[in-house]
Structure 1
Amino acid sequence: MSMTLALRRSIQTTPEQTATVFHGRRQSFCRFGDRVARLASALRTQGMGSGDRVGMLGVNSDRWLEVMMGVWWGGGVLNPVNTRWSGPEIVYSLDDSDTGILLVDDHFLHQVEGIRTTARRPPLLIHVGEQAVPEGMLSLEALMAASAPMDDAHRAGSDLACILYTGGTTGFPKGVMHSHGTLWAIGIQRLAQTPMPGGSVALHVAPLFHMGGMGRALVQFIAGETHVLLSSFDAREVMQTIERERVSDLLLVPTMLQALITHPEFDCFDLSSLRRMVYGTSPIAEAVLERALDLLPHVAFTHSYGLTELGSATTNPPHNHGAQGRASGLSRSAGRANAGLAVKVVNGDGVELPRGEVGELVVAGPNLMLGYWNKPQETAQALRGGWLYTGDGAHMDGDGYVFIVDRLKDMIVSGGENVYSAEVENVIARHPGVMSCAVIGVPHPQWGEAVHAVVVRKPGAALEAPDLHAHCKAFIAGYKCPKSIEFREALPLSAAGKVLKRELRAPHWAGQSRQVG
């Protein structure tokens, strides 16, 4: 169970098949494999040892996939850096994981100086891109040209493969540890739930630093099929690419899907090659799904529910998106447990609840994370008795279909991005004019949910919403900053002194469905 095993198979069996396509640049599996082996060798000469962490800060590209496979080929551990993070957040993840080498593409060279000057142990910086190599950085292409291909290090099974940082309820991101074995299980399970015949061409527009995007890439490598990549999502460019490259498989978050089907030129492109569409990672409006199903009747739609900690947990297959499934309500389900997994809904004591009762969804199987990097308490809280406690409220029907109804954690999913209220609250509370605050998710027609802050000013403070927006942007990514702010004289508190967030949410969610992706 090694992620490089899949690549070795393709090099052996289909060396001339197209492996990657990126803005007109095409390469075969033979060429891709040679570059991966040279990249791995180059990283080893620069000090990467077995199990050492290597970061990649860049947009989707063929080079991103080369770095991913190259780190694994050389025996390292990949730290895929969230490109939407602020400088301090990036540095936190590098410091926390002790990342010694960081590869940076052209889009994020502006972050280099801040990383160099504020990281606890400044990483070795390697440039990945077409621009001139900045001062103080090494050229990946030059390093690869000077390196002979190395043999696969054969890291596999329980060997650590990557650390994916996700938000933390403590206010700090948590590094989710996945081994080669858990990633292999994630890929195989996705492939089992969404089978692909030969000749699959997958378009990657979901960011590869997310489990959703990375997981889709793993599937394509295991299947030995073609990857087409776009550096960012643009609805028109997506449709152009589907038409030009005859794309068959696509993973989109609901906001992307909505942008696609509402684009004024939707009818101007030939999308007949598209065969399979997977959506998930955030709430989807029923109206958006209904319109997508009507506009793309030849496409098999699948809903995948999952977490960074385990990949996909449940799948709602295409047949539940037909007329019968839509009429019965099964199209709104998160589906049933994936192959090789077990799911159940439990109460606060971990006891399974009768079908139809709402509790916490827990999952067991070979794809569960190893734990959170350097966070034993959080790991023990999430992994109990072989089960991962998702923090999502759900109920299950008599046929095993899971319906997610709400989040037990104070997590907000906005446009496919996870935002933890505690993290935002900690930043707001740093402002000298804030006495107390609470952050909640409120419905948003485009993003599913938006970050909303309720703030109590300190007596005499002349604090307004623009002041807080500017303050937040200095510490956290833009998508985490409140989109709306209201000021109150006091927050509603329980007898124990805890903020009653349900009372803050109630007027915003009245009459709304709380389905989450």
Structure 2
Amino acid sequence: MEITQALHRAAQQTPEQPATIAGDRVRTWSECRDRVARLAAGLQGLGVGPGDRVAMLSLNSDRFHEYLFAVPWAGGVVTPVNIRWSPAEIAFSLEDAQVAVLVVDDAFVPAVAAIRDGAPVLRTVVYSGDGEVPEGMVGFEALVAGHEPVPDARRGGADPYGIYYTGGTTGTPKGVVLSHANLLASALGSAASGAFTEPGGRYLHAAPMFHLADGAAWVARNVVGGTHVIVPMFTPTGVAEAIARHEVTDVLLVPTMIQMLVDSPEAADADLTSLRHLLYGASPISEAVLERAAKRLPAAEFTQAYGMTELSPVATLLLPADHGVDRLRRSAGRAAPHSEVRIVDEDDVEVPHGTVGEIVSRGPHVMLGYWNRPEETATALRGGWMHTGDGGRMDDEGYVYVVDRIKDMIVSGGENVYSVEVENALAKHPDVASCAVIGVPDEEWGERVHAVVVPVAGAAPTGEELREHVKGLIANYKAPRTVELRDALPISGAGKILKRDLRAEHWSAADRGVS
């Protein structure tokens, strides 16, 4: 199978159904196929051949949707770019992947000069905005209008579909190479659970389309049919308005987005009753936020997906029925239909149920490897299993409980403290809007538990108040010894809290680091 197969099917079976709704612009599946075939011809005219990488640096748009189809149609490999990166970081990824063609929208035109300076390999920049094409660039619409449709290159199976660069929260960004088969296995397995995609429904792209979490949902929506509703980026009011206006049935949000949506006064009156499926993941969610979301979205079923880019990206699913069981809500669910999961020790020996070890997964969703990094690929995929770097345990029914990134575990006074547990306790305090817990240097304890807290508007909880609150919920030694209040936490383009940035402030002068 190939990613473009879904486009052929949709154009054949539901040609007049909306494929994309972006603002007031609606395009049918028949129109989409024609535009994709013409855009692919334009890309080939720019020199894109089999296996060549084409990058896109853009906010969410219907043209991003067309790019995701047109590049493989032309024979190439998609390379979506993290919109939060600096020009230097973007240039690094383009050079690393040897990208000669980059598509940009209005938001990123000002960065093109700096990107070009750092990426000599870049040959052509395609402008995908709605204004006048900037000097030195090629127009996206001109490529579509100026070329006759070409046949689909029919790349599929083990052929690379995309190179997705990791967010860098644990080190230098690496290009994760995923095949058509990888992505389709994950999409089909997730869809088989029946818990996320509404056949023929409407999926809202509110999470960034450059990130594989949303990209995987894009694949799944194409597989089961329906419509893509697209907003440029997440805002609580924008998402609420889109759901209400277009009767959206499905959406993927990271926990920080869910919190902002359900707590937004501006979105409080929006009619969200069309929403049937809410998928969340990318980082842990506190039970307090989950409870508020369930009250605000009573018609929606909640599914948690756990995984990583290297797993295309789904490894486990916590299904809607599981959310009704208190103890299971603290888990990340069980292996998805396409995935096999186990917990292993440092020697890759499976540990007994209930024992914390590293979460590993294998199956058709496991990446082809890291781009041009054979040694790191071999290490990550040793024994045929993708080693996630996440610490977790499994119960007797196969439910996986993620306790923390293994390297993020705080060792304080000889005791292991998993930050997720402390964060969940802190999040239950009524004055806490969001928080992150890290280990920082301490002369007495080696590391101490340190909490960075964003209070709710108008609140100013004291460190002592928060420590006592945590002690009432978990063991005293896990309570943060120090607390700082901030207006906001550093967030990656994928919606993850950048603990590395928080740690760097404390470990930069130390003789060792944990980031």
TM-score by length of 1: 0.81
Aligned to 2:180: 180
Distance apart, 1:9 and its partner CA:
0.5
Secondary structure at the counterpart of residue 256 of structure 2: helix
Number of residue pairs aligned between Structure 1 and Structure 2? 447
Aligned to 1:250: 251
Alpha-carbon contact 2:206-2:230 (below 8 Å) kept: yes
CA distance in 2, matches of 1:254, 1:150: 42
CA distance in 1, matches of 2:508, 2:225: 60
CA distance in 2, matches of 1:284, 1:255: 8
Distance apart, 1:483 and its partner CA:
5.0
Secondary structure at the counterpart of residue 255 of structure 1: helix
Cα separation, partners in 2 of 1:356 and 1:154, compared to 1, 3 Å: same
CA distance in 2, matches of 1:455, 1:95: 40
Could you tell me which of 291, 301, 312 is aligned with 2:314? 312
Aligned to 2:301: 300
Aligned to 1:431: none
Aligned to 2:205: 204
Secondary structure at the counterpart of residue 351 of structure 1: coil
Distance apart, 1:454 and its partner CA:
6.5
Aligned to 1:344: 342
**Structure 2: gaps of 5 or more residues:** 411-418, 444-489
Distance apart, 1:59 and its partner CA:
0.5
Read off the aligned partner of 1:389 and give its amino acid letter: H
Alpha-carbon contact 2:53-2:77 (below 8 Å) kept: yes
Read off the aligned partner of 1:247 and give its amino acid letter: V
Aligned to 1:79: 79
Secondary structure at the counterpart of residue 343 of structure 1: strand
Aligned to 1:238: 239
* Structure 1, 90-99 or 180-189: larger mean CA deviation: 180-189
Read off the aligned partner of 1:91 and give its amino acid letter: A
Distance apart, 1:297 and its partner CA:
2.2
Read off the aligned partner of 1:277 and give its amino acid letter: L
Read off the aligned partner of 2:331 and give its amino acid letter: S
Alpha-carbon contact 2:91-2:116 (below 8 Å) kept: no
Secondary structure at the counterpart of residue 482 of structure 1: helix
Alpha-carbon contact 2:102-2:122 (below 8 Å) kept: no
CA distance in 2, matches of 1:399, 1:27: 46
1:381-414: CA deviation from partner (whole Å, max 9, x where unpaired): 10012110111011000100000011114599xx
Distance apart, 1:482 and its partner CA:
3.4
Cα separation, partners in 2 of 1:343 and 1:53, compared to 1, 3 Å: same
CA distance in 2, matches of 1:309, 1:488: 29
Cα separation, partners in 2 of 1:38 and 1:453, compared to 1, 3 Å: farther
Aligned to 1:375: 373
CA distance in 1, matches of 2:347, 2:145: 58
CA distance in 2, matches of 1:168, 1:410: 14
Read off the aligned partner of 1:289 and give its amino acid letter: L
Aligned to 1:275: 276
CA distance in 1, matches of 2:69, 2:40: 8
Alpha-carbon contact 2:242-2:248 (below 8 Å) kept: yes
Alpha-carbon contact 2:436-2:497 (below 8 Å) kept: no
1:183-217: CA deviation from partner (whole Å, max 9, x where unpaired): 11121112112254433111011111111010111
Please give the residue correspondences for 1:113-132 in structure 2 after superposition, counting only pairs within 5 Å. Answer: 113-132=113-132
Distance apart, 1:79 and its partner CA:
0.5
Alpha-carbon contact 1:455-1:486 (below 8 Å) kept: no
CA distance in 2, matches of 1:160, 1:331: 36
Distance apart, 1:289 and its partner CA:
0.6
Secondary structure at the counterpart of residue 66 of structure 1: helix
Secondary structure at the counterpart of residue 309 of structure 1: helix
Aligned to 2:405: 407
Percent of residue pairs identical:
46
CA distance in 1, matches of 2:170, 2:263: 38
Secondary structure at the counterpart of residue 216 of structure 2: helix
Distance apart, 1:33 and its partner CA:
0.7
Cα separation, partners in 2 of 1:487 and 1:165, compared to 1, 3 Å: closer
Secondary structure at the counterpart of residue 240 of structure 1: helix
Is 1:358 paired with 2:329? no
Distance apart, 1:168 and its partner CA:
5.1
CA distance in 1, matches of 2:442, 2:501: 11
TM-score by length of 2: 0.82
Please give the residue correspondences for 1:5-16 in structure 2 after superposition, counting only pairs within 5 Å. Answer: 5-16=5-16
Cα separation, partners in 2 of 1:44 and 1:393, compared to 1, 3 Å: same
Alpha-carbon contact 1:20-1:229 (below 8 Å) kept: yes
CA distance in 2, matches of 1:300, 1:9: 28
Alpha-carbon contact 1:455-1:488 (below 8 Å) kept: no
Read off the aligned partner of 2:269 and give its amino acid letter: C
Distance apart, 1:88 and its partner CA:
0.6
Read off the aligned partner of 2:377 and give its amino acid letter: T
Secondary structure at the counterpart of residue 114 of structure 1: helix
Alpha-carbon contact 1:455-1:487 (below 8 Å) kept: no
CA distance in 2, matches of 1:403, 1:85: 31
Alpha-carbon contact 2:200-2:225 (below 8 Å) kept: no
CA RMSD of aligned residues (A): 2.7
Alpha-carbon contact 1:453-1:486 (below 8 Å) kept: no
CA distance in 1, matches of 2:58, 2:300: 31
Read off the aligned partner of 2:285 and give its amino acid letter: I
Alpha-carbon contact 2:358-2:406 (below 8 Å) kept: yes
Distance apart, 1:15 and its partner CA:
0.5
Distance apart, 1:122 and its partner CA:
2.6
Aligned to 1:159: 159
Secondary structure at the counterpart of residue 3 of structure 1: coil
Distance apart, 1:487 and its partner CA:
6.0
Alpha-carbon contact 1:454-1:486 (below 8 Å) kept: no
CA distance in 1, matches of 2:70, 2:133: 21
* Structure 1, 85-94 or 290-299: larger mean CA deviation: 290-299
Please give the residue correspondences for 1:80-99 in structure 2 after superposition, counting only pairs within 5 Å. Answer: 80-99=80-99
CA distance in 2, matches of 1:271, 1:354: 44
Distance apart, 1:267 and its partner CA:
3.6
Secondary structure at the counterpart of residue 250 of structure 1: strand
Could you tell me which of 378, 384, 406 is aligned with 1:386? 384
Cα separation, partners in 2 of 1:179 and 1:448, compared to 1, 3 Å: farther
Alpha-carbon contact 2:278-2:302 (below 8 Å) kept: yes
Cα separation, partners in 2 of 1:411 and 1:227, compared to 1, 3 Å: farther
Alpha-carbon contact 1:453-1:485 (below 8 Å) kept: no
1:310-330: CA deviation from partner (whole Å, max 9, x where unpaired): 1110000001122xx12xx11
Distance apart, 1:266 and its partner CA:
4.0
Aligned to 2:48: 48
CA distance in 2, matches of 1:487, 1:170: 16
Aligned to 2:471: none
Aligned to 2:436: 449
Secondary structure at the counterpart of residue 338 of structure 2: coil
CA distance in 2, matches of 1:487, 1:244: 46
Alpha-carbon contact 1:15-1:29 (below 8 Å) kept: yes
Alpha-carbon contact 1:382-1:388 (below 8 Å) kept: yes
